[in-house]
């Protein structure tokens, strides 16, 4: 097949959408399909190359103060001519911004099947707060904006069944299919995990949070929960891997909480390096307080390393964590219950080990060998119907 993927977020940035886009493209390409990725050109160079993947970078400028939002010329008729010349068979957009709109327009002009994946719950107040806005009217407007894109698709996809229900509730048109973001279990290497364990906390347990340090990840709430854990288990430390606009504020809040010696901040670590580092395997429990996840790749990656998890019973996290089997789900706004769940895993080695094994087993259904086959069949059906 000849597949075009449009994304408004791409290298050198690294976030969930970039991770998912590259993972899907590479696994399709490795199976012999030709993949074309249309993405913004940033000011820094991009040396990415992969067999059977062609990167087409569109000139762009930064929008306002938000580096991840780029402005590009629209419409760009050169893109349509290129798709026609390359005999592309299906178009798939990952983001509902300018290149997403290019994908919609190109699919209609060329009469090609169009897939749109809903990755980000950007109507949530915490996402709107990151952009500097938050109101009921703006939430309604953001849902209307999203429908404008996705209801033009021949197929809408999202990572979890819970998000599928949310999309239907907010007026998205069927068909809507839940397809996991997927992870590549073979990419993990925990050979250095024991060394990291000795280096980070040889005499206590390690909690792990990986992800963007921003409003939508609810990091301050997570730190409050950890402070409660630390009172009962002072040898336990929290490892934070990730960067984001709130990182300076998070550092300051850690000092206010008096837990500087118990929190280890790595900041940004390139994704491939993190997977091969052994840091994930060195930790004991994964924790997340995010209430906006459509699925959470970092949670899947923790599961793939045999880590049980504690999370808030909201949206995608509530589907990924199997409560009392692969970890614990806790009601929102109950920090004491969150801390108790973490402590239960820290203090019961047999329970933690059992849930970790269950988590690893559960992660296998999200492996990209499985997910790529689902995408192949999905694309093929759309192409046959076109």
pLDDT tens readout for residues 304-333: 999 999 999 999 999 999 999 999 999 999
361 and 312 share a domain? Answer: yes
Q: Tell me the residue range of the domain where 295 lies.
A: 185-365
Residue 328, domain CATH: 3.40.50.2000
> What pLDDT is recorded for position 128?
55
> What pLDDT is recorded for position 125?
64
Can you name the residues that pair with 93 across neighbouring β-strands?
6, 116
For the ranges 4-18, 42-56, 209-223, the lowest mean pLDDT is seen at 42-56
> What pLDDT is recorded for position 133?
55
For the cut 80, the answer to whether the pLDDT of residue 43 exceeds it is no
For the cut 70, the answer to whether the pLDDT of residue 127 exceeds it is no
> What pLDDT is recorded for position 93?
98
For the cut 60, the answer to whether the pLDDT of residue 38 exceeds it is yes
> What pLDDT is recorded for position 121?
84
232-279 pLDDT, tens per residue?
Answer: 999 999 999 999 999 999 999 999 999 999 999 999 999 999 999 999
205 and 287 share a domain? Answer: yes
231-264 residues labelled b (16+ CB within 10 A) or e (exposed): eebeebbbbbbbbbebbeebeebbeebebeebbb
171 and 70 share a domain? Answer: yes
Mean pLDDT of 148-153: 97
User: Mean pLDDT across the chain, nearest whole number?
Assistant: 94
Q: What is the DSSP letter of 367?
A: B
For the cut 70, the answer to whether the pLDDT of residue 134 exceeds it is no
d(CA 202, CA 195): 9
Q: Which of 9, 322, 297, 11 is nearest to 159 (CA)?
A: 297
Q: Which residue has the higher pLDDT, 128 or 385?
A: 385
**In which band, very low, low, confident or very high, does the pLDDT at 28 lie, cut at 50, 70 and 90?**
very high
For the ranges 68-72, 164-168, 255-259, 381-385, the lowest mean pLDDT is seen at 68-72
> What pLDDT is recorded for position 42?
86
217 and 103 share a domain? Answer: no
Mean pLDDT of 179-197: 97
What is the tally of structural domains in the chain?
2
Contacts of 133 (CB under 8 A, 6+ apart): none
49 and 129 share a domain? Answer: yes
238 and 108 share a domain? Answer: no
For the cut 80, the answer to whether the pLDDT of residue 69 exceeds it is no
For the ranges 17-26, 67-76, 265-274, the lowest mean pLDDT is seen at 67-76
207 and 326 share a domain? Answer: yes
338 and 222 share a domain? Answer: yes
359 and 372 share a domain? Answer: no
276 and 192 share a domain? Answer: yes
Tokens of 259: 């837990």
> What pLDDT is recorded for position 362?
97
**In which band, very low, low, confident or very high, does the pLDDT at 136 lie, cut at 50, 70 and 90?**
confident
**In which band, very low, low, confident or very high, does the pLDDT at 139 lie, cut at 50, 70 and 90?**
confident
For the cut 80, the answer to whether the pLDDT of residue 44 exceeds it is no
**In which band, very low, low, confident or very high, does the pLDDT at 61 lie, cut at 50, 70 and 90?**
confident
For the cut 70, the answer to whether the pLDDT of residue 71 exceeds it is yes
> What pLDDT is recorded for position 170?
95
167 and 61 share a domain? Answer: yes
**In which band, very low, low, confident or very high, does the pLDDT at 72 lie, cut at 50, 70 and 90?**
confident
> What pLDDT is recorded for position 68?
64
DSSP letters, 219-273, are HHHHHHHHHHHHHH-TT-EEEEE---TTHHHHHHHHHHHT-GGGEEEEE---HHH
Are the C-beta atoms of residues 81 and 88 closer than 8 Å to each other? no
Place of tokens 């409660």: 228
> What pLDDT is recorded for position 302?
98
193 and 82 share a domain? Answer: no
> What's the sign of the alpha-carbon dihedral 70, 76, 82, 84?
positive
């Amino acid at each position: 097949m000849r597949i075009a993927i449009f994304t408004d977020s791409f290298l050198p940035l690294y976030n969930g959408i970039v991770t998912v886009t590259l993972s899907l493209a590479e696994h399709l390409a490795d199976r012999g399909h030709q993949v074309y990725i249309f993405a913004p050109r940033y000011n820094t160079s991009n040396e990415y190359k992969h067999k059977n993947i062609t990167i087409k970078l569109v000139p762009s400028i930064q929008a306002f103060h938000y580096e991840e939002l780029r402005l590009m010329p629209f419409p760009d008729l050169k893109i349509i001519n290129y798709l026609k010349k390359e005999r592309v068979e299906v178009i798939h957009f990952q983001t509902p911004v300018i290149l997403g709109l290019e994908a919609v327009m190109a699919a209609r002009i060329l009469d090609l099947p169009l897939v749109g994946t809903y990755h980000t719950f950007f109507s949530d107040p915490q996402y709107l707060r990151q952009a500097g806005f938050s109101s009921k009217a703006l939430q309604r407007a953001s849902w209307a904006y999203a429908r404008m894109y996705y209801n033009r698709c021949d197929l809408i996809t999202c990572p979890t069944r819970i998000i599928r229900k949310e999309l239907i509730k907010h007026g998205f048109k069927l068909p809507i299919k839940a397809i996991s973001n997927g992870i590549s279990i073979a990419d993990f290497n925990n050979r250095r995990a024991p060394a990291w364990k000795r280096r980070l906390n040889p005499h206590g347990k390690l909690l792990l949070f990986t992800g963007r340090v921003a409003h939508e990840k609810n990091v301050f709430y997570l730190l409050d929960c950890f402070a409660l854990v630390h009172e009962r288990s002072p040898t336990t430390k929290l490892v934070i891997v990730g960067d984001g606009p709130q990182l300076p504020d998070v550092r300051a809040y850690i000092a206010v909480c008096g837990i500087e010696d118990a929190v280890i901040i790595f900041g940004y670590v390139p994704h491939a390096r993190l997977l091969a580092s052994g840091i994930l395997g060195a930790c004991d429990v994964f924790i997340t307080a995010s209430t906006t996840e459509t699925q959470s790749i970092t949670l899947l990656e923790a599961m793939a390393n045999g880590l049980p998890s504690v999370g808030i019973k909201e949206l995608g996290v509530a589907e990924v964590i199997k409560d009392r089997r692969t970890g614990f789900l806790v009601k929102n706004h109950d920090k004491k219950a969150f801390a108790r769940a973490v402590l239960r895993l820290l203090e019961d080695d047999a329970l933690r080990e059992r849930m970790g094994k269950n988590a690893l087993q559960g992660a296998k259904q999200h492996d990209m060998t499985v997910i790529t086959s689902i995408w192949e069949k999905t694309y093929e059906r759309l192409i046959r119907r076109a």
